[in-house]
Amino acid sequence: MVVEAVNSVKMTNLNGDIKYPIKSINIVKSHGQSSLESKLIKGYVLQMSRASQQMPIRIENARVACLDLNLSKFKLQMGVQILVNDPKNLEKIRQKECDVLRDRLKKIMDAGANVIITTKGIDDIASKYMVEANILGLRRVDKNDLRRIAKATGATIVTTLANPETGEETFEASSVGTCTEVYEETVGDNDFIFIKGFKNTSCCSILLRGANEHMTDEVERSIHDSICVVKRTLESGYVVAGGGAVEIALGIYLEDFAKTLGSKEQIAISEYCEALTIIPKILAINAAQDATNLLSKMRVFHNAAQNSDDASKKEFKWIGLDLVNGKCRNNLQAGVVEPMDSKIKCLR
C-alpha cells in the first residue's frame, strides 16, 4: 500500500530530477476494525460532513469551487453607522443582507460549480440556497487541504469576488476545478468526504483503521516511517544489504587500508572501524543475542569475501545479522535491505 502511495505522487522537478513529495500523501484515521482494514484511496479524503444534512450525499462529474471567504449573511463593516427613520426600512436592510449573499452564491453557481469548499463558514441561509440548487457545500476546511484539492482538481483558490476593473463582484468560470465524484461516507464513527478522479493524479490518501485512538496513532507513525523509507529508496535508486553488513564490511576494508599507512593516521582509522562495529553490536544486544559471537562470525565471512580469490566466497559480502534466529545469513536474499542514501548520510 505504501509503495503504491509513494509511486502515485511521483513528479519531475524543474531540474529534471524525479522526486516523491510525500506531503501529497494525505493520511486520515478512523478507529474501528483491525489495522489490516486500512486502505489506499486514489483521491483526497477529508474528515468532515456536509454543511447541511439536506445537501446531496453524492455528486457525479463534480465542478469544484475553492473559496477562502465567508459564505454567511452579509454584514456591514465595523464602525459603519446607519440611521433609520422608518421601521419598514429595517426589514429592507435585513432583506438586502440576504440578497447580497444570494447574489454571491448565484455568481458561483452560474460559473458551473456544484461543489463549494470554503475555509470559512457557511451559515444556515447560505445552506438553504445551496440545498435549493442541489449543491454540496463543505465549510471550515483546513487551508493546506484546500491547497492540495485546488492543485489536484485544477481549481483556483478565490479569496475575494471583488473585481478591481469593473468594481463589481464576479466569479470566473476558469476558477472552477473538475473531478469525477465527490461523496460523503461514514467510516467507523466518523463522516468522511471522498473526492475522487482528478485530472492531475499526483495525490492520494491512506485511510487508517485500528482498534482505538492509540492504535491508529501508532499505525500512523509506522506508516510515516515506511513512506519515508520508500521515498529514500526510490530517490537514491540503490539499496545495500541490511543488518550490519555494510558496517562490518567497511570496518574490515578500512582495517586493511590502515595497515598500509606508516603514520599516526593508522590509529585514527582503526578507531573509526571500531565505531562502525558498534551498530551491528547494538543490534545484536537489543535482540538479546550473543553480540561477540555473532560479530566474530560476520567478520570471518566478510574477510573471506574481500581477501579470498575463491569466486564462491564473493557472495559472503551480503552476510548480515538474522536477529530472530541469532545467526548470520545472506540478507540480500532474505530481503533485508536499506536505502543507500541513508547509509551515505550516516557516514558523512
- CB-facing half-sphere around the CA of 234: CA atoms within 13 A: 22
Residue 73 class from Cβ within 10 Å (0-12 exposed, 13-18 middle, 19+ buried)? middle
From the centroid of its chain, how far is CA 102? 37
For the domain spanning 2-77+88-235, the CATH number is 3.50.7.10
Per-domain boundaries in the chain = 2-77+88-235, 239-347
Those residues with Cβ within 8 angstroms of residue 265's Cβ, 6 or more apart along the chain or in another chain: 258
Contacts of 212-218 with C-beta under 8 Å, sequence gap 24+, read 212/31, 213/31, 215/31, 215/35, 216/29, 216/30, 216/31, 216/35, 217/29
Name the architecture of domain 239-347: Orthogonal Bundle (1.10)
Contact of 66 with 158, CB cutoff 8 Å: yes
Write the single-letter amino acid at 237.
G
Ordered per-residue pLDDT tens for the chain, 348 residues: 999 999 888 888 888 888 888 888 889 998 888 888 889 988 889 998 988 888 899 989 989 999 988 888 877 778 888 888 888 888 888 888 888 888 888 888 888 888 999 998 888 888 888 898 898 999 999 998 898 888 888 888 888 888 888 778 888 888 888 889 999 998 888 899 999 888 766 788 999 998 888 999 999 999 999 999 999 888 888 999 988 899 999 999 999 899 888 889 899 998 999 899 999 999 999 999 999 999 999 999 999 998 888 888 888 889 999 989 888 999 989 999 988 888 898 889
Q: How many helical (H) and strand (E) elements, i.e. helices and strands, does the chain have?
A: 10, 16
